[in-house]
Amino acid sequence: MQAVRSILVVLDPEHAHSRALTRAKLIAGVTGARLHLLMCDKKQDHDALLSLLSSQLHDDGYDNVTHEQHWKDNLHKSIIHVQQAEGCELVIKEHRPDNPLRKALLTPSDWKLLRECPCAVLMVKSERPWTGGKILAAVDVGNQDEAHRLLHASIIDHGYDIASLAKGELHVISAHPSPMLSAADPVYQLTQTIEQRYREACNAFQAEFDITDDRLHIAEGPADVLIPYTEKKLDAAVTIVGTVARTGISGALIGNTAEVVLDSLESDVLVLKSEEAKAHLAELARG
What is the domain partition of the chain in residue ranges? 6-94, 134-286
**Per-residue pLDDT tens listing for the chain (287 residues):** 778 999 999 998 877 678 999 999 999 999 999 999 999 998 899 999 999 999 999 999 999 999 999 999 899 999 999 999 999 999 999 887 666 666 555 557 888 888 889 999 999 988 889 999 999 999 888 777 888 889 899 999 999 999 999 999 999 998 876 654 444 455 444 456 666 777 788 888 899 999 999 999 988 788 888 899 999 999 999 999 987 755 443 333 345 566 667 778 889 999 998 888 888 888 888 87
DSSP H stretches of helix in the chain: 19-31, 47-59, 75-86, 100-105, 109-116, 146-165, 191-209, 223-234, 257-264, 275-286
| Helix axes 146-165 and 19-31, enclosed angle (nearest 10) | 90
Domain 6-94 matches domain 134-286 at the CATH topology level: yes
CB proximity list for 34: less than 8 A, separation 6 or greater = 5, 6, 7, 28, 64, 65, 66
Write down the CATH number for the domain with range 134-286: 3.40.50.12370
Q: What is the pLDDT of residue 249?
A: 37
The Cα-based distances of 7 to 10, 13, 127, 145, 194 in angstroms read 10, 18, 19, 30, 41
pLDDT at 218: 84
Best CATH choice for the domain 6-94 from the list 2.40.50.140, 3.40.50.620, 3.40.50.720, 3.90.550.10: 3.40.50.620
> Which pLDDT value is given to residue 184?
47
